[in-house]
A and B are shown apart, each in its own frame.
Chain A
Amino acid sequence: MDQLITEKLSKTYGGSSMALQDVSFSAPSSGILALIGRNGAGKTTLVRILATELAPTSGSASINGIDVVREDKRLRERIAIVPQEARTISWMTPKQSTLTYLMWRGFEYSEAKKRAEESLARLKLDKYADTLNRKLSGGTKRKALAAMVLASEADVIFLDEPTTGLDPISRRDFWEILRELAKDRFIFLTTHYLEEAEQLADTLAVLGGGRLVAVGTVSSIRGRIRYQYSINLPAGSPVPGVAQGEVTTGRSGEVQILTNEDEAFAISKKLSVAGSRFSIRPVSLDDIFFQLVGESTQGEQEAAAPGADGGWSA
Chain B
Amino acid sequence: MRRSYSSQLVAAILVNSVYEMKNYPINLVNTVLSPLSFLVVIDFVSKGALIGQAIEGGLIMSMFQSGMSLQGDISHLKNDFKLQDMLVSSPASPAVYVIGMAASEIIYNLPALAILVILGGIYIHPGAFQAVELTAALGLMFLTSITIGFMFATLSSDIVQSFAWSRLLTTIFTAITPVYYPITYIPLPFRYLAYLSPTTYVAEIMQSVAGSLKLGEASVISDWLIIGGLAAVLLVVVSRNARWKEA
Contact = CB atoms under 8 A, between A and B. Distances in A.
Contact of B24 (A91, A93, A99, A104): A91
Contact of B86 (A54, A81, A92, A153): A81
Contacts of B3: 105-107
Interface in A87-115: 87-89, 91-93, 96, 99-101, 103-109, 112
Interface stretch (B12-20, B43-51, B112-120): B12-20
A185 interface: no
A112 B7 contact: yes
Interface in B1-47: 1-5, 7-8, 10-12, 14-15, 19-20, 23-24
Interface residues of A, number: 41
Interface stretch (B76-84, B127-135, B161-169, B197-205): B76-84
Query: How many residues of B sit at the interface, in one of the four size bands?
Result: 20 to 34
B196 interface: no
Interface stretch (B88-96, B138-146, B152-160, B210-218): B88-96
A51 B19 CA distance: 29
Interface string A289-305: 00000000000000000
Main secondary structure of the interface of B (DSSP, over half): helix
A154 B10 CA distance: 21
Contact of B89 (A103, A109, A112, A158): A158
B4 A83 contact: no
A103 B245 contact: no
Interface centre among B4, B24, B90, B246 (most CB of A within 10 A): B90
Interface in B84-126: 85-92, 97
Nearest to B246: A54
Contact of A106 (B15, B20, B91): B91
B1 A87 contact: no
A207 B180 CA distance: 60
A256 interface: no
Contact of A86 (B5, B10, B81): B81
B82 A83 contact: yes
B90 A79 contact: yes
Contacts of B90: 76, 79-81, 104-105, 152, 154
A53 B81 contact: no
B10 A103 contact: yes
B188 interface: no
A89 B7 contact: no
A99 B18 CA distance: 13
B88 A100 contact: no
Contacts of B23: 91-93, 132
Contacts of A71: none
Contacts of A76: 88-91
B25 to A, nearest CB: 11
Given A103-B8, A104-B8, A54 B83 contact: no
Q: Which 7 A-B pairs have the closest CB atoms?
A: A106-B3, A103-B11, A86-B82, A51-B89, A81-B89, A103-B7, A83-B85
Given A55-B247, A79-B89, A104-B12, 12 more contacts: A53-B89, A53-B245, A53-B246, A54-B245, A76-B91, A83-B85, A86-B83, A96-B14, A101-B11, A106-B1, A107-B3, A107-B7
